Amino acid sequence: MTKNSFHEQYGSVALITGASSGIGWAFAEELAERGFDLVLAARRTERLEELATKLEATHGTRTQVCQSDLSQPDAPAKLLAETAGSDIGLVVSNAGFNIRGYFEQTDPAQMAEMLTVNCHAPMQLTHGFLPRLKARGKGGLIFTSSVEGLIGCPFSTAYSATKALVVGLGEGLWGELQGTGVDVLTLCPGATESEATAKYAEQYAAVPNMQPAAEVARLALDNIAEGPVFVPNAHYRAQFDQLTALPRQQALTAMAAGIKATL
């Protein structure tokens, strides 16, 4: 698909949640390069303003900055109201965070917040945006999940469970939306350069087979019509293909032993 045809199918405005860093920031840069105007949503508006200024200077991108704390249950409804006048053709539901370590040592309030950001927000945003996309007769939805959503992952159990919901949401919608002109892709990255992986490396150990966020975003957009699920990192694609093909007990035992050694 050429840049012009991509813009014709999914343009002219894209919404990105979690746009203040990592994969979200990379999606913004890649979409600006492809000629999109953007709605940028995140908690840290100073980071969004910095990004908006950069993209306007480099690409002439018009941006709408939305302060949005998706840990608040009413945040999706507010974001839908703020964008009511925008002809958004591509929704990138990217905001999320993870918690790692022993499950029983995890703060239950933090788990509840993660559930709201990782699960409630994409479900409610999609529910609101989908009628708009179907009325257009073309467009796209991208959900950022994780390879850890493909199998229950020991020592990131709660996070893995939230990302499994995202995989299920994306796969179900992919099936429902056949013939509507609306494409759905669930992106399942492995280790990706971000603030989160940097913090993990500081706390636990260096993360191998890291993929640049810009590469993840570019590959996701290049493969948006090839859903329902896309794993952009070849190493993790092979690893999780192998894990999910094993008997579950064997796969989980091996994963638990390998991860426990790094904690």
Q: For 128-143, what is each residue's pLDDT tens digit?
A: 999 999 999 999 999 9
| Arithmetic mean of pLDDT over the chain | 94
What per-residue confidence (pLDDT) applies to 203?
55
Would you say residue 150 has pLDDT above 80?
A: yes
Phi and psi at residue 183, to the nearest 5°: -90, 150
Angle between helices 213-222 and 22-33 (to 10 degrees): 50
What per-residue confidence (pLDDT) applies to 3?
81
Check 159, 200, 204, 236 and give the catalytic one: 159
Residue 111: closest CA among 146, 161, 158: 158
Element (H, E) at 255: helix 248-260
Matching residue, tokens 């002439």: 60
Element (H, E) at 16: strand 13-17
Q: What is the mean pLDDT of residues 101-130?
A: 97
Secondary structure (3-state) at 178: coil
Task: Give yes or no: 200 in active site.
Answer: no
Percent of the chain with pLDDT over 70: 95
- Are 55 and 61 contacting, i.e. CB atoms less than 8 angstroms apart? yes
Please, which pLDDT band fits residue 248 given cuts at 50, 70 and 90?
very high
Question: How would you classify the pairing of strands 139-144 and 182-187?
Answer: parallel
What per-residue confidence (pLDDT) applies to 201?
54
Question: How much is the pTM?
Answer: 0.94
Element (H, E) at 187: strand 182-187
Six-digit token string for 13: 């405005």
What per-residue confidence (pLDDT) applies to 222?
97
